Amino acid sequence: MSNSDKSNEEKNFVEFRRKVRAAEVLSAAMEKLLLDIHFTGRVSVVVQNGRVLKSGYEEGYFRQRFDRTGENASMP
């Protein structure tokens, strides 16, 4: 990856974080940013009475699964 590509990706990620903090996650521009930075996590939005109350993102998460003994084990 060239320096200009890396710099552009970093700028896009900063813009993505700004949009999440500003609750601007429901737009075509946000979708384009998500594609540009190859985002694979979750973006969540809480809406009440037509207004965005809260938004956030998580890049990685663990799913719960049961191992052979029936105990809970985390799985990436």
Question: pTM to 2 decimals?
Answer: 0.50
Range(s) of the domain holding residue 70? 3-75
Q: Using N-to-C axis directions, what is the helix angle for 3-21 and 28-36, rounded to 10°?
A: 140
CB 20 within 8 A of CB 57: yes
Number of domains into which the chain is organized = 1
| Rounded CA separation 43/34 (Å) | 10
Tens digit of each residue's pLDDT (9 = 90 or more) over 19-58: 888 877 778 888 888 888 888 888 888 888 878 888 888 8
Give the confidence band of 68 by pLDDT, cuts at 50, 70, 90. low
